[in-house]
Structure 1
């Protein structure tokens, strides 16, 4: 399945007219369901991945199956890792999972290389994607290296609220997975935050009050 030029303009404003035409011709769209794994550790990446609809979560997983959340990708954003790895047919070092139903756009690696030299707007889009993802990684590293667990939890929740709104449909266990902590620790810290008036806890959801 392909996307038309109008859809591409809405998702990725500011690109050149010829690039939209090329994308409509050569990019393909794949429908995904919530829970689908889009990238696995060790999987060879053979195309770039841009988000057309839905939300994709990127995370790391250790040998014991413990997860650590990195960041989300939303419509109009790209998986920067796929830019480099697809060009070299390298293997993924992260996992990517669809949090919601949606669709992703794939671009063949030969077109990625061609557009980098042909279209200045594509070159800028790729650089901006790298920069944005790098900034997200720096924020995550700072939260790990320089923050206590309650500070990390607050930082995590604020990022989730910015992404999904003030009512988060998420369990304590899911948060614990993302922060590589235990459910008991997360539950205790959430109750502490509730007592401070930062949030209200509901069954399988959290309402942010700030």
Structure 2
């Protein structure tokens, strides 16, 4: 989240803001990345669109998330399509401004911290995509989250999108895993009931 990175507000203070409607494309995979962006409202997804027309969601960027921060220096194409999942507003800054910004010590540390977390998430996404079943993907995702005192907050629609699965498939898997005593849902929160058995699914 951008709110956790001191100084990033200054970086985007003079950036270009873009308003997007649901389904509107911000960048395509054949475009060269020349800017880094920040989601101000709504949600942006990074997707691969196959020749068959099937869309594979790789990552969802929500309010406060940076995007294109890993490839802004490479002058390479975007790794996928950046599409608004809902009405959204983003702000983008040119590569030259980013280079100027990270010249300071504290700013550089903040930036590298953000990149490190993004790389970790990307690694987890790749692992999730390599898993074959919905149950495996759910188990892996839950085991890699830190539950709070009230459990893990779960929105089935958003959770399904993160796993690149249908909402119906995730809902059915949750119900089955609850009946097996692996999980428990209450008031929008999910509780792991049997961690050992959950780990055995992966």
C-alpha distance in structure 2 between counterparts of 1:60 and 1:45, whole Å: 16
C-alpha distance in structure 1 between counterparts of 2:88 and 2:178, whole Å: 33
Q: Contact between 2:57 and 2:161, CA under 8 Å: does it hold in 1?
A: no
* Secondary structure at the counterpart of residue 83 of structure 1: coil
Q: How does 1:90-129 map to 2 (within 5 A)?
A: 90-117=76-103, 119-129=104-114
C-alpha distance in structure 1 between counterparts of 2:32 and 2:18, whole Å: 18
C-alpha distance in structure 1 between counterparts of 2:163 and 2:53, whole Å: 9
Q: Which residue of 2 aligns with 1:192?
A: 176
- 1:32, distance to aligned residue in structure 2 (A): 2.1
Deviations 1:104-162 (A, max 9, x none): 11111211122222x22332232122211111122223334466431214555899xx9
C-alpha distance in structure 2 between counterparts of 1:189 and 1:103, whole Å: 34
Q: Which residue of 2 aligns with 1:5?
A: none
* Secondary structure at the counterpart of residue 115 of structure 2: helix
Q: Which residue of 1 aligns with 2:75?
A: 89
| Equivalent residue in structure 2 for 1:77, among 55, 65, 72 | 65
Provide closer, same or farther for how the CA distance between residues 11 and 101 of structure 1 changes in structure 2, counting only shifts above 3 A.
farther
Q: Where in structure 2 are there 5+ consecutive unaligned residues?
A: 148-152, 192-202
Please say if 1:139 is aligned against 2:124: yes
Provide closer, same or farther for how the CA distance between residues 78 and 209 of structure 1 changes in structure 2, counting only shifts above 3 A.
closer
Provide closer, same or farther for how the CA distance between residues 167 and 12 of structure 1 changes in structure 2, counting only shifts above 3 A.
closer
Please say if 1:63 is aligned against 2:47: no
- Give the alignment's Cα RMSD to 1 decimal: 3.8
Which structure has greater helix proportion?
A: 1
| Equivalent residue in structure 2 for 1:130, among 87, 102, 115 | 115
| Equivalent residue in structure 2 for 1:30, among 9, 15, 18 | 18
TM-score by length of 1: 0.65
